[in-house]
Amino acid sequence: MKVFYTKVALNTYLDTHKKNKQIGFIPTMGALHEGHLSLLKKCNEENDISVVSIFVNPTQFDNPADLLKYPKTFQDDTKILESAQCDVLFAPDVKEIYAENITATSFDFEGLEHEMEGRFRIGHFDGVGTVVKRLFEIVAPNKAYFGEKDFQQLQIVKKMTQKQQLPLEVKGCNIHRAKNGLAMSSRNSRLTKAHLKAAPFIFKTLQKVKMKFETEAPNTIIEWVEKEFEKQSLLTLEYFTIADEKTLKNIKNKDEKTQYRAFIAVFAGEIRLIDNIQI
Ligand code: AMP
C-alpha cells in the first residue's frame, strides 16, 4: 500500500498508474473498523485501484469537544488497510485541504440538509460537502463509496455530485453491525462498558419499528419509541423520525409507492450515536 500525505504526491502517483484503470475511493475519518472495511471490500471488487482517505474534517464538527476527542489511531489504521488490500492511503493534514482558510462553503442540497442531522448539527453538511467535493477533485475517482450508516450524508453527497455534475458514481453500502446489532462506528470505542452494553437497544428498537410499521400509524410508533427510551437510564433519545428515503421529509400519510426509513439519534453518555433502518 502506498501512503501519501500531499495532493502533489498522490496525483503524481495516480497520474502514472491510472491509465485505463478504474479508481474507487472511500473517504473516512480514520479509527477504522469493520464497517469501513465492508466499503473497501466492495470497492476492491469493483475497481482496479482503491484509494482510502483518512482526514478528520474540522468544518463538519458542530461540537469542538467532539472534534478534539475524535479517536485517532493512524498506526493501527495503516496496518488494517494494508491487510485489507487497500492500494493507496491518502492522509492529508488540515493545511493540505484548507490552506489557511478552515471554513466551509455554503451548499444548497435542495432541502436535504434541513432535516434530521441538519436540525441538530448546524453547519455539519456544509462541512461534509466542502471536504467531499475537495477530496473528489483531488482523487478524481470513477466511483466513491459511502455507508448507509450515515444515510442522510449519502443522499447529500449524491445530490451534490448530481447538481455539480461531478464525473463519478456515488454508491451506498449496507450498514455493518456487531453481532448484537449495534451499528459499527468509530465513536463506539469511546463508550463506557455500561453504555456499550446498553447501546444495542437502539437497533432492537428499530427492528420493532419495522414490524410495527406494517400495521401501526407513524405517530403511534413515534410515541412508542419515545416512551421506550424514557425507560432507558443510560440512553437519551435526541430524535426519532420516519421519513421518505428520497426527500428525507417526515412521513405524513403512508403512501404505498414511497420507500420509508426510520432514523434515530441517541446520546449514550456524551457519545452521540446514529442509526437507521429501511422499513
Ligand atoms: P467515518 O470515518 O465515520 O466518516 O465513515 C467513513 C465512511 O464509512 C462513511 O461513508 C460512513 O457512512 C461509512 N461507515 C461508517 N460506519 C459504517 C458502518 N457501520 N457500516 C457501513 N458503513 C459505515
Is the Cβ–Cβ distance between 245 and 261 less than 8 Å?
yes
Q: Is the pTM of this model over 0.85?
A: yes
Whole-angstrom Cα distance, residue 200 to residue 183? Answer: 8
19 and 116 co-located in one domain: yes
The mean of the pLDDT values for the chain is 97
CB atoms within 10 A of CB 122: 9
Residue located nearest, by CA, to atom 5 of ligand 1: 28
Grid cell locating 81? 488497510
pLDDT band at 18 (very low <50, low <70, confident <90, very high): confident
Indicate whether 251 belongs to any domain. Answer: yes
Q: What is the CATH number of the domain that holds 30?
A: 3.40.50.620
Ligand 1 binding pocket, CB closer than 6 Å = 28-29, 35-36, 38-39, 146-147, 149-150, 173, 175-176, 183-186
Q: Which residues are catalytic?
A: 36
Q: 3-class DSSP state for residue 18?
A: coil
Decide which of 139, 173, 207 is a domain's last residue: 173
The predicted pLDDT at position 241 comes to 97
Domain containing residue 265: 186-278
Q: 3-class DSSP state for residue 271?
A: strand
Q: 3-class DSSP state for residue 45?
A: helix
pLDDT band at 253 (very low <50, low <70, confident <90, very high): confident
Indicate whether 180 belongs to any domain. Answer: no
Q: Work out how many domains the chain is built from and give that number.
A: 2
169 and 190 co-located in one domain: no
235 and 266 co-located in one domain: yes
Q: Which of 32, 39, 70 for mutating ligand 1's site (highest number of atoms within 8 Å of CB)?
A: 39
Q: What is the CATH number of the domain that holds 271?
A: 3.30.1300.10
Indicate whether 178 belongs to any domain. Answer: no
The predicted-structure confidence for 54-77, as pLDDT tens digits, reads as follows: 999 999 998 999 999 999 999 999
Q: Which of 25, 26, 29, 36 for mutating ligand 1's site (highest number of atoms within 8 Å of CB)?
A: 36
The predicted-structure confidence for 113-164, as pLDDT tens digits, reads as follows: 999 999 999 999 999 999 999 999 999 999 999 999 999 999 999 999 999 9
The Cα-based distances of 253 to 94, 144, 210, 216 in angstroms read 45, 34, 16, 12
Q: 3-class DSSP state for residue 276?
A: strand
Indicate whether 154 belongs to any domain. Answer: yes
